[in-house]
Chain A
Amino acid sequence: MTATAISVESISKRYQLGVINHGVLFRDIQSWWARARSLPDPNLKIGARTQAGNFNALQDVSFSVRAGETVGIIGRNGAGKSTLLKILSRVTAPSSGRIRVRGRIASLLEVGTGFHPELTGRENVFLNGAILGMTKPEIRRKFDEIVDFAEVGAFIDTPVKRYSSGMYVRLAFAVAAHLEPEILVVDEVLAVGDHEFQKKCIGKMQDVGAHGRTVLFVSHNMTAVNNLCARSILLRSGQVVADGPSSDVTRLYLKALDQGEQARWICPPDSSAGKQAYIAEMAVLDPQGTVREGYELTEDLRLRIRYHLSEAMGGITLGLQVSSDETGETIISLSDSELERSRLGVRRAGEHITEVRLPNRLLNTGVYSLRIGISRGRHEILDVAEGLAFRIIDSVGIVQYLGFERKGSQLAMQLPWTEEAA
């Protein structure tokens, strides 16, 4: 029996919403001095509780991975995948629990970290390799292999600012692919480059797994997860909901997308307590105002948000993000004060209802998730709501009429064509 390579022991990560501290030394000293004399804190709202709301990105997550295993970690946006990755990569620390690791661990949350445009490809290979934990002799030994893999050939001594984006990504990935850690933690860096190159990368990752190394692979791409990983772990709202053979877990994930998650999200009653502001409800509606299972690409979409302020406040901004569930990329990001500065003025206490209309043929077919946040000023986040997914389908569009598939693209936006008179 092989030894355990990673042991994750009831990891939790809590983010504090609201004011972490005043961000201003003077105010902190003022508060501290007042408390020291047991006077009321002059910087606290009267009657407000000192304890601000918390957001649990991960709750009591435990699992272990044996050496040589390749494990997929899947879940929707906001399920806690990236927080888990960050903790494993030691970019941030958990709030409680611990992780023990046996062997050198390398994580790829991004390719090309630290690439400098003025440096040549060669210089960047060394810099990036060192950032990822390779020593100079190690990089020197693999250098030719890296250049071959990246297919940049003669351009290796050209500053990377002159590279095409494809070359840049290939070189960046090539460095990462030639790391030789015992444990590799990979985020969806495979979602880059052209199809040929992706295939090559997946091949390289399979090699890594075959050489007895442990791989944790975080992805939205169920096909890749099924191909690469025998086992998968599904996260939802910061908890492990399934852990087992990839085929079962990915099926569960896709099923949850189809029915479990709805195009309407309502704030659980206990989680709004004590918050100065919170999102009470968000919903995706068709033009008639009903929540549906799928929305036609040819119809407008209404994103409806109900939020609540405990008191009149100024400087409030509502932020909205729509991201693709397939790639995890944010497609649309809006803030309600962008076009209407007056919204930064005082908003009354109580319930507000606001709506954004997305024009038809903007989003392409696929599953999208919606995330809403309320912030005040520059760094104060009062509330964040996520966990709403909706599907765009196309059963009446022109493409169907003509009888062929819509060509893949992020947006389905159509623009007028003009024809010049002959």
Chain B
Amino acid sequence: MESEEEGNWTTTIESERHWYAPDLRGLWQYRDLVMLFVRRDFVAIYKQSLLGPLWFALQPALTTVVFTIVFGHIASIPTDGAPPFLFYFTSVVCWQYFAGNVVKTSDTFVTNANIFGKVYFPRLTAPVSIVISNLLQFGIQFAVLACLIGWSIFQGAGVRPGPSLLLLPLLLIQMAALGLGVGLAVSALTTRYRDLAYLMSFGLQLWMYATPVVYPVSQIPQRWLWLAYLNPMTSVVESFRYVMLGVGGLTLELSMLGIAVTLVVLTIGLFLFARVERLFMDTV
């Protein structure tokens, strides 16, 4: 009797204050839920206003205009031979997908407090679905970018996306993973430190200027290059421009370094998130 009682428990709920492995298996089991969250976000964006999708296209265009005037014309920063407008637009689309992922996943606990407080399901489904939903925005901006590039080629500008375009999905995955990792870490820390939420938008802006978004890698002084390469977004933005416009580019080793740093960030984010997810309801 006693021996029959032992073992084969399906779930054990134990006390707090331990480190946990991220619940990746649960995430896989609930993959249907992830896709349903994505669908919900799509529907919500479309049904609320037609302006939503239009705004997605307009936002990078306006930023690009500002960058072209300030950095292209006033500061005259070289753009590796690419037309400045295309150069900035490409960088901005790439950066915004990453930054959007960070911003939206970082308040996972706050926006979902209502649902999280009532039902258990793997909490990771929420931020992962956000990263996928943001692809809608990226897709719209990417389509605009593709049109601009096509038009420039037609006009005879010196841009030429090559066969490396096939690497695009990999780059997207890296952007998503990095944005998710940073967002998860911030979301875990903001449950404890609310002031971090204010710091984040400022931090992201600083990060953008530390990343070759408004300037190419070739403009970074030799002795700071090592630091630039430790920033995983450097390799993402530079590679994205290489893939789309055929300017700049990185060696394989440096891309691998970027990927390695991305994986480290993602792992840290996942663990911090797993630590907080079980107890945050007591503090929100």
Instruction: Mark A residues whose CB is within 8 Å of B.
Output: 1, 3-4, 15, 20-21, 23-26, 28, 86-105, 107, 109-110, 113-114, 116, 118-119, 123, 126-127, 130-133, 135-136, 159
Contacts and interface: CB of A to CB of B under 8 A. Distances in A.
Contact of B5 (A4, A26, A123): A4
Contacts of A107: 119-120
- Chain B interface size band reads 35 or more
Given A95-B15, A123-B43, A110 B118 contact: yes
Contact of A91 (B4, B12, B116, B195): B116
Given A88-B13, A101-B12, A127 B117 contact: no
Given A21-B192, A28-B193, A93-B13, A114 B115 contact: yes
A109 B119 contact: yes
A113 B119 contact: yes
Contacts of B32: 130, 135-136
A275 B15 CA distance: 26
29 contacts: A15-B282, A20-B283, A23-B194, A23-B195, A87-B13, A89-B118, A90-B13, A91-B116, A91-B120, A92-B279, A92-B282, A93-B15, A93-B16, A93-B278, A94-B15, A98-B15, A99-B12, A99-B13, A109-B119, A114-B115, A116-B40, A118-B43, A123-B36, A123-B40, A123-B43, A127-B33, A130-B36, A133-B30, A133-B121
Interface in B266-284: 278-279, 281-283
A100 B11 contact: yes
Interface in B1-45: 1, 4-5, 8-16, 30, 32-33, 36-37, 39-40, 43-44
B283 A101 contact: no
B254 interface: no
Given A100-B11, A110-B118, 5 more contacts: A91-B116, A91-B117, A93-B15, A97-B15, A100-B9
Contacts of B36: 123, 126-127, 130
A24 B194 contact: yes
Contacts of B196: 25
Nearest to B9: A100
A25 B12 contact: no
A119 B32 CA distance: 17
Contacts of A100: 9, 11-13
B48 interface: yes
Contacts of A116: 40, 43-44
B181 to A, nearest CB: 20
Query: Which one of A24, A118, A130 has the greatest number of beta carbons of chain B within 10 Å?
Result: A130
B10 A127 contact: no
A131 B115 CA distance: 9
Query: Which one of A15, A90, A159 has the greatest number of beta carbons of chain B within 10 Å?
Result: A90
B47 interface: yes
A103 B10 contact: yes
A101 B115 contact: no
A276 to B, nearest CB: 20
Contact of A3 (B4, B16, B43): B4
Given A93-B16, A98-B14, A86 B9 contact: no
A20 B119 CA distance: 25
Contacts of B48: 118
Contacts of B47: 118, 159
A136 B195 CA distance: 40
